[in-house]
Amino acid sequence: MNSKTQDELPETTEGTPKPEPPSPRKHRIVTGPNPVNLAGCLILLLLAGLLAVGFANRYNLLPRVTRLVGDKDSITLVSANAAGAEPTILMVVRRNGHSEVRALSALNGAQSFFSAPNAQSSVPVQSPVGDRVAYLVENPKGQFAVKVGVPNGVVTDTISKDTLNNIKRTGLELCDPTQIAWSTDGQKLAAFVCNKQSKESYVLVTEAGGLNQILDQTKDNLDRARSIVWVSPTRVVYTQNENNLDAVYVLDVNNPDKPDRIFGP
């Protein structure tokens, strides 16, 4: 005789044993990305890159792709000047980590000016009569100089930290960044110079032969970019920061003690 009691027998429904309860679900512990999947993604990305370069090379698009990726090989058109016998185009050519300033004829492409190779030249400005080009050059120490050259590329004037010593002030150097502007008659240049110790910037007016003049009334914080233009052979217009807002001043270089404030907050 079966010794099990009624309580020990499994419950039945119409003679069918009661099903056992389901076992607990086992959760998978994720500790990081699957190395196999990660390697597969990297291979797909590599293949996609190779296909893109091959397509660009086949259809002569590789220089454009390189320019988009690293901007190592590019040409920036700066300005056009119709003065003189034929119109000229001023541009900055970047090649192999260096930049050169070049001017060429808009008619036949003949080069009429070029800066020194293997340097960092930028911000070219052609004189109103088209006979000279002023541009910035950065040395390996990060210091800037303004150079003025004639059509054959010969530098006739240089404005640098060393040449600014004739102003009888210490610590002056060209601001980064700075604009360069020719007077309307092409006889003067204006730029911004800074004193990093006092954190001030000034307008510099220079003439042929290295005559430099600092206009003290344009003192400004050197961390703020400024603009400057000429409206006559002697009148220069510039921006100056006042309480974090820019004002516009006009100054006659022959009477620098009385600048006229023509716009501002």
| Cα angle 125-96-177, degrees, rounded to a multiple of 5 | 35
Q: State if pTM tops 0.85.
A: no
- Spans of all domains in the chain: 72-157, 161-265
Q: What is the pLDDT of residues 27-78, one digit of tens each?
A: 444 455 555 566 666 676 666 655 544 444 443 333 333 333 344 578 888 8
What does the pLDDT read at residue 62?
35
Query: CA dihedral defined by 100, 181, 67, 64, rounded to 10 degrees?
Result: -100
Q: What is the pLDDT of residues 90-132, one digit of tens each?
A: 899 998 888 999 988 888 888 888 888 888 999 899 888 888 8
- Euclidean distance between CA atoms 179 and 229, whole angstroms: 9
Residue ranges of E strands in 85-143: 88-95, 98-105, 111-114, 120-126, 133-138
What does the pLDDT read at residue 37?
63
Q: What is the pLDDT of residues 216-245, one digit of tens each?
A: 666 776 667 789 999 999 999 999 888 888
Query: The domain 161-265: what is its CATH number?
Result: 2.120.10.30
